[in-house]
Structure 1
């Protein structure tokens, strides 16, 4: 063994594995796909390439140190050690989902199928893993800090977000809440509020900017159209589809949240209010009447290895 530091390999189920679980057998999954005109071989190929990539990576990593394999669904229950080295093999979303359960541990993100995955957060290929890991262990490689958003409620619940937080209704209904921005308060009705980090600013946040710009008569060259830095010490909030009425206002529908500002939302909904992060609705908090959500930049920082 070259190192005493444990290596945690994070993976996710392939689409084929998820279909097999849903339909019980591969035969039934194949019938379902082909009945809808889908190519079963595409799913098989993707699953094979991914499994081979994981097997090869784990085989090498076991020659270096102890290895613990984790599937995405158990991330929220796993206790990471401060000196763990994390290797994520998957798509961008898996990297983002992993980062919010860490606190500064280095993350090496590997693109297992570069022909299928763009990999904005996957800087390395499988063949580069050996060199990158050894450089990570010797602290001779560059990393990038990633700021996170954090929500804390008045009933003691906490949730982190690497890309964005969504606060609003579970379904396609209107959310009612009291919005507080610094010393300004107003009751709002909307389809929810999105709070974006620098990492998330090229995703959901960018679609909001693009959509809003497309509504006006003249094209708008918004200064945030290409997002903002991953390590930015601020967030942006965006109110979706705000509705003005005799009882609701729309003065504060877009703005910056810093370490020196206050941003909170108090639910006015009897039921179906929710807070979730990074598009994962299963890992969520309730946001019903009486719940106050305070949003800030987290003291936790992601640490993504990016190379030289």
Structure 2
């Protein structure tokens, strides 16, 4: 058996909305009662769950035809150890691909769309049938790979967290974030609702809404005169973009370092002044976070490794 044919495939799965409801309400009947009491369409939850189960069965059949494989639920990703030569398959929405990629170290990642009629799947170019042949091509380096730049947050105590779309630095609640921010030669104390640092892939997501909203406000204040336009970046761009959400100037806080680029030679640094509830999380996964409380310093920069998305 060749080394390529002996490579293990790790399949990352996720629970459907119906699975989450059953876990919360204990039985299918109770989940149905809860949704119907809210006048929600329970049949849509059933259809989504059935489609995912069918797609999962097809994927597993393809993995059985391939050889060595392992299933991992997304909730175990923060503690799962991938082998250097693993091939990784994510069966789910775009968010699952992003949340899988940030735990990888150069392993090829295949995004599989479980229900193309439901999910657009920007990061899901493949469907569940024919997976065995696709894995064979990936194992033998016969498929193109698209590089994806990731962001990285490193704390002064050695902890690290990567992001495929964006990092959020701020409070867990709706309270104000208090911190010192340093970018290049500039340094100031700020009070805001948090800082977003986005990658090229994430430049069309959360940070776009922040910047376009700010531009619209600026345009209104200028009497409708056009202001600058927001432009997204390439997925493999070697820089990140940061934006401060709702900065609030006071006697002790400023609001001049609110937007800019982060590069390998010019990181973004923040020191927390929040006695509690300060966090850093990535790609919308609030449950997987780093504590960022008073005295902790975070250095935000371009990750040393890139994501490898099979296309």
Task: Report the secondary structure of 1:126's partner residue.
Answer: coil
Task: Report the secondary structure of 1:124's partner residue.
Answer: coil
Q: CA offset at residue 301 of structure 1?
A: 1.0
Task: Report the secondary structure of 1:123's partner residue.
Answer: coil
Q: Are residues 1:6 and 2:8 paired?
A: yes
1:262 matched residue in structure 2: 267
RMSD: 1.3
Output one character per residue of 1:112-164: Cα deviation in whole Å (capped at 9) or x when no partner.
10111110110112234344222212211111011111111111211111111
Unaligned runs of at least 5 residues, structure 1: none
2:110 matched residue in structure 1: 108
CA distance in structure 2 between the partners assigned to 1:257 and 1:119 by the alignment:
28
Q: CA offset at residue 221 of structure 1?
A: 4.8
CA distance in structure 2 between the partners assigned to 1:63 and 1:26 by the alignment:
33
2:201 matched residue in structure 1: 199
Q: CA offset at residue 175 of structure 1?
A: 1.0
Give 1:267-278 correspondences, 5 Å limit. Answer: 267-278=272-283
Task: Report the secondary structure of 1:127's partner residue.
Answer: coil
2:229 matched residue in structure 1: 222
Give 1:1-308 correspondences, 5 Å limit. Answer: 3-215=5-217, 216-217=219-220, 218=224, 219-224=226-231, 227-306=232-311
Q: CA offset at residue 102 of structure 1?
A: 0.3
Q: CA offset at residue 262 of structure 1?
A: 3.2
Q: CA offset at residue 223 of structure 1?
A: 4.2
> TM-score with structure 2 length normalisation?
0.95
Q: CA offset at residue 268 of structure 1?
A: 1.0
CA distance in structure 1 between the partners assigned to 2:58 and 2:266 by the alignment:
48
CA distance in structure 2 between the partners assigned to 1:220 and 1:12 by the alignment:
42
CA distance in structure 1 between the partners assigned to 2:307 and 2:122 by the alignment:
15
Task: Report the secondary structure of 1:79's partner residue.
Answer: coil
Task: Report the secondary structure of 1:256's partner residue.
Answer: strand
Unaligned runs of at least 5 residues, structure 2: none
Task: Report the secondary structure of 1:49's partner residue.
Answer: helix
Instruction: List structure 1 runs of 4+ shifted beyond 4 angstroms.
Output: none
CA distance in structure 2 between the partners assigned to 1:33 and 1:131 by the alignment:
41
CA distance in structure 1 between the partners assigned to 2:168 and 2:113 by the alignment:
28
CA distance in structure 2 between the partners assigned to 1:161 and 1:188 by the alignment:
23
Task: Report the secondary structure of 1:125's partner residue.
Answer: coil
Q: CA offset at residue 40 of structure 1?
A: 1.2
Moved more, 133-142 or 288-297: 133-142
Contact 1:209 1:222 in 2 (8 A): no
Give the number of aligned pairs: 304
Moved more, 260-269 or 16-25: 260-269
Contact 1:11 1:90 in 2 (8 A): yes
Output one character per residue of 1:244-270: Cα deviation in whole Å (capped at 9) or x when no partner.
122111111000001111310011111
